[in-house]
């Protein structure tokens, strides 16, 4: 008997199905966690107010101004021009659009006035400014 004829041929293929499954799971995890990481990185030191009320939920439109004067709209960095365009577009879709402005207590007043001017130009009337309670 010929022993070489009875040996099974070695299969040299790599099954990539498990690898593909792992990559897809990682992709989904990153897609879910990236917005959460961006939102948690926008911590601002809010000013204090004696009459501050707790906000039960965030508004439909959230604007954050950091200490450096950088503006974020719903967690995405925007320029003043982009902010104006996006606010006007959202206000046209929903005239009763609510806006919450969060700014660091050390932000220059002209930066806050600039954002408020954009909101006023867009016709926003439902405006809240975020603050913490004194205590």
pLDDT tens, residue by residue, 62-97? 888 888 888 998 888 999 999 999 999 999 998 888
pTM, two decimal places? 0.58
Residues contacting residue 66 through CB under 8 Å, at least 6 positions apart: 42, 44, 72, 104, 107
pLDDT tens, residue by residue, 14-44? 788 888 999 999 999 988 877 666 554 556 6
**Does pLDDT of 119 surpass 60?**
yes
């Amino acid at each position: 008997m010929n022993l070489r004829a009875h040996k099974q041929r070695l299969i040299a293929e790599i099954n990539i199905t498990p690898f593909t499954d792992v990559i897809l799971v990682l992709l989904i995890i990153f897609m879910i966690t990236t917005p959460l990481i961006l939102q948690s990185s926008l911590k601002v030191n809010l000013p204090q107010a004696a009459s501050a009320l707790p906000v039960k939920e965030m508004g439909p439109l959230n604007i954050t101004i950091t200490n450096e004067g950088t503006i974020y709209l719903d967690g995405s960095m925007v320029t003043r021009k982009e902010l104006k365009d996006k606010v006007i577009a959202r206000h046209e879709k929903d005239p009763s659009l609510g806006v919450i402005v969060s700014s660091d207590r050390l932000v220059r007043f002209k930066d806050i006035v600039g954002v408020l001017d954009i909101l006023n130009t867009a016709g926003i009337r439902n405006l809240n400014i975020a603050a913490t309670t004194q205590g």
